[in-house]
Amino acid sequence: MALHDRSYKRWHGDRSLPVTTIPIIAAAGIRAATTAFFKRKIPAVLLTLMSFSMFLFGMVFIFLRYYVQTNMEVLPEEFVEGILGEEVTTFTSASGLTIFFYLANLQVVFAGLACLLMGSGQIANDRRTNALEMYLSRPVTAWHYVVGKFGAVGFFVALVTVFPAVMLVVAQLLVSFGDANEVARLLDLAWRTVAAGAVLAAVPTLLMLTASSLAQKARNAAILWFGFLFLTDVVIAQSLIDAFGDDRFLLFSIAFNIRQVMAWFLQPPVEYLGDIAPDVLAGVPVAWSALALGALVAVCLVILLRRVRPVEVVG
C-alpha cells in the first residue's frame, strides 16, 4: 500500500491574485549563488571576512573616537591625541572623501569579485540548461527575468559597497546627536552615499548580466566581463591617451566614468582627491561620463532583451 495519496488533485486557489515574479527570481538567484559560493567553505569565509574588514575597522574607529571624545579627562593624553589627530580623522570619519575612498579605492575590488563570483552564472547557466523556456512559458516576461537577475547580482555587489558605506554614515549619525549641523551634513551624505554606491553597484552588475547572457558557461561570462573592462580601460582608453595626449579618451574607460560620477555625488575635497584618484581630476566634464554610462546601460539592456528569449530565432 502506498504511504501517500498519489492521485492528481486540483488546486482551488485564486488565479486572479497578482503575480510578483521579480522578487521570486531575485531570491532564487541569491540562493543559488550563495549555495555555489559556499561549496568551498574556507575560501568563501575568508573572502567574506576580507570584504567586510575595512567596514569593521571603520565602525570600530567611529565608536572608539566617540568613546575617547566622551572620556577625554580619564584617558592618557597621547592616546587621545592619537585617536583624534587631524590626519587620522580625515580618513576615518564619515565624509564625502572617506566614503569615496572606501567605495572607489577599497571596496571596488570586492564589488568586482562579487560580480564575477555571484553574477557570471546567473543567465549563462539558465541558457545552458534551457531554463529560459521554463521561465518564459510562465507569467514571466523578459523584463521581469532581467530585473530579477539584476536584483540577485546587485544584492551581492550592494552588500559589499552600498550597505557598509551607508552603515558607516549611520554609525557616525548615531554618535553625532546633539550637533544639528553634523546631523544635517550626515543626512545629506547618506543619500549621496546611496547614489554613488548605486552607480558603483549597478553598472558592473548590468555589464556582468550582459556578459552572462552572451555565454553558456559562467567561466566564459567572467572572462568576457573582465576582458571588456580591461579592453576599455587599459587597451583602448590608455593607448589613445598615450598616442594623442588627450585626457578626454578617458571616456572609453568604464572604471573612470564610474569614479567620475561617484565623485560628483560625494564631492570629496579636491586637495585630497589628487592623492587617491588623480584620474578624476582630468579635464572631462562629469556630464560626459554620465552620458557614456547611460549609453553603456542602454546597449546592455538592448543586448539582454535580445538574448533573453525562449526560442532562438534564426532568420
The residues of the shown chain that bind another protein, judged by CB under 8 A, are 4-11, 13, 15, 17, 19, 21, 24-25, 28, 32, 35-36, 121, 125-126, 128-131, 133-141, 310-311, 313-315
- Please answer whether residues 99 and 165 qualify as being in contact, where contact means their C-beta atoms are separated by less than 8 angstroms: yes
Cell readout for 98 is 572617506
Q: Could you tell me the smallest distance in angstroms from the CB atom of residue 133 to another protein?
A: 5
Q: In this complex, which beta carbon is closest to another protein, that of residue 61 or of residue 135?
A: 135
Return the number of other C-beta atoms located less than 10 Å from residue 24's C-beta.
Answer: 13
Q: Could you tell me the smallest distance in angstroms from the CB atom of residue 24 to another protein?
A: 5
Q: In this complex, which beta carbon is closest to another protein, that of residue 9 or of residue 77?
A: 9
Half-sphere exposure of 250 (CA within 13 A, CB side): 22
Q: Is 138 left (phi over 0), alpha (psi -120 to 50) or beta?
A: beta
Q: In this complex, which beta carbon is closest to another protein, that of residue 155 or of residue 252?
A: 155
Q: Which of 95, 208, 213 is nearest to 154 (CA)?
A: 208
Q: Is 5 left (phi over 0), alpha (psi -120 to 50) or beta?
A: beta
Q: Could you tell me the smallest distance in angstroms from the CB atom of residue 27 to another protein?
A: 9
Q: In this complex, which beta carbon is closest to another protein, that of residue 76 or of residue 139?
A: 139
Q: Could you tell me the smallest distance in angstroms from the CB atom of residue 83 to another protein?
A: 48
- The count of residues in the chain is 315
Q: Could you tell me the smallest distance in angstroms from the CB atom of residue 183 to another protein?
A: 41
Q: Could you tell me the smallest distance in angstroms from the CB atom of residue 155 to another protein?
A: 17
Return the number of other C-beta atoms located less than 10 Å from residue 198's C-beta.
Answer: 16
Q: In this complex, which beta carbon is closest to another protein, that of residue 5 or of residue 78?
A: 5
For 51-64, b where at least 16 C-beta lie within 10 A, e where not — what string? bbebbeebbebbee
Q: In this complex, which beta carbon is closest to another protein, that of residue 138 or of residue 219?
A: 138
CA gap 34, 97 in Å, rounded? 32
Return the number of other C-beta atoms located less than 10 Å from residue 302's C-beta.
Answer: 11
